[in-house]
Amino acid sequence: MPTSNSSTEPAIEIAGLAKRFANGVEALAGVDLVIEAGSFVVVLGPSGAGKSTLLRCINGLETPSAGRTIVEDRSVEKRSLRSIRSHVAMVFQHFNLVGRLNVMTNVLCGRLGKRSTLASLIYLMRKDDLGVARRALDRVGLTDRAWDRADRLSGGQQQRVGIARALAQEPSIMLADEPVASLDPAISEEILDLLSEIQKQGITMVVSLHQVDYARRYAERIIGLNDGRVVFDGTPEALSDAVLETIYGRRNGSNGLAHG
């Protein structure tokens, strides 16, 4: 269950976050951000802007070179990863399911953070965990495919399984890293609608996208990222063409992928 419905309490605080990769690429060059609980935030920007890296720093999949992240009053570091990850769920661009396992087992993965038993190693889980998984599956509308192998599902269905897995964690925060980049438009909208409904039920939603129209439609707040820096932070209404140019423009002055 989400911890708090108060929209004034920060769920995520990011201060001075920077990340330089081993090959010299500077993905994040100093990001300061506060995300309130229960909001729908879209991180918008071209590919390579650092959107993925930003999200992955929040749940510890990347370790920043500088700065820190505080999630629900806990600092993200090696020791706290397990407890943070039990409240922060992630949805991936390429779904990241275990293809050979059935849908229900994939969704059950979401419960692993809460159960570190020996029994879980042989796939023996508590019935209440199975109940949570089943409810999550029902929420995304895939109960009838529960026992099918995950790699037999279509792209959109697999992403819904990914979302169910995230829901099974009973998270307070959900991070979606380019959740619809691999899906066609009709399905993309279904997925984003689903994420929007989930957010309305009280889960903080942070979604990274590169499609401007989706950002405009679903976000309560848009954070424009370019070259690892925040270049815009405001409502969708404030997203003018001039602003878009700062988001999608390249350092050398040429224009990137600005779609209207």
Partner 1 sequence: MQSSRPFTDAGMAAMAWPTASGLPSRAVVLGAVGICVVLTAALSMLELGRGGFLASLGRLFEYVGNIIATPDWEYAPTVASKMLETVEMAFLGTALAVVMSLPLGLLAARNSAPHPAVSHTIRAIMTTIRSLPELMWALFFVTAVGLGPLPGVAAIALVSIGYLGKFLAEAIEAVPDAAVEGVVVHGANRMQVRFYALMPQAWPDFIAVTFYVFEHNVRAATVLGIVGAGGIGYDMTMAMRLFRYDRLALILLAIYLAVTILDRLSDRIRARVI
Partner 2 sequence: MRDLSPLPRKRVNAFPLWLAALAALFVVVTRDLEIDFRALAWGAADMGEFLGRFETPDFSRLSRYLMLMGETVAMGLWGTALAFLGAFVIAPFAARNLSPHPLIYRVARELLNFLRAMPDLLFAMLFVAAMGLGPLPGVLAIGMHVTGFLGKVFAENLERVDPGAYEAVRASGAGFLQTVMWAGWPSVLQETVGYTIFILDRNVRMAAILGLVGAGGIGFEIKTTMGLFQYDQAAALVLVVGTTILAIDYLSAWARRKVR
Which CB atom, from 85 or from 145, has the smaller least distance to partner 2? 85
Classify strands 26-36 and 10-20 as parallel, antiparallel or unpaired: antiparallel
Interaction between residue 120 and partner 2 (CB under 8 A): yes
Residue 15 partner contact from partner 2, partner 1, none using kind-dependent CB cut-offs of 5 to 8 Å = none
Least separation, in Å, of the C-beta of 165 and partner 1?
12
Rama region for 76: left / alpha / beta (φ>0; ψ in -120 to 50; rest): beta
Report helix angle 185-200 to 155-168, nearest 10. Answer: 10
Report helix angle 155-168 to 127-139, nearest 10. Answer: 140
Instruction: Yes or no: say if 27 and 19 are a contact pair by the CB < 8 Å rule.
Output: yes
Out of 8, 22, 24, 116, the residue judged to bind partner 1 by CB under 8 A: 116
Distance (Å, rounded) from C-alpha 151 to C-alpha 146? 12
Tell me how far CA of residue 76 lies from CA of 64, 143, 153, 171, 206, in angstroms: 10, 35, 34, 16, 17
The answer for residues whose C-beta is within 8 angstroms of residue 82's C-beta and 6 or more apart is 113
Which CB atom, from 112 or from 183, has the smaller least distance to partner 1? 112
Least separation, in Å, of the C-beta of 165 and partner 2?
7
Out of 74, 79, 115, 250, the residue judged to bind partner 1 by CB under 8 A: 115
146-205: contacts with partner 1 (CB under 8 A): 146-147
Contact residues for partner 2, defined by CB under 8 A: 59, 61, 82, 85-86, 89-90, 92, 94-101, 105, 109-114, 116, 120-123, 162, 165-166, 169
Contact residues for partner 1, defined by CB under 8 A: 82-83, 86, 102, 104-105, 108, 113-119, 123-128, 130, 133, 146-147
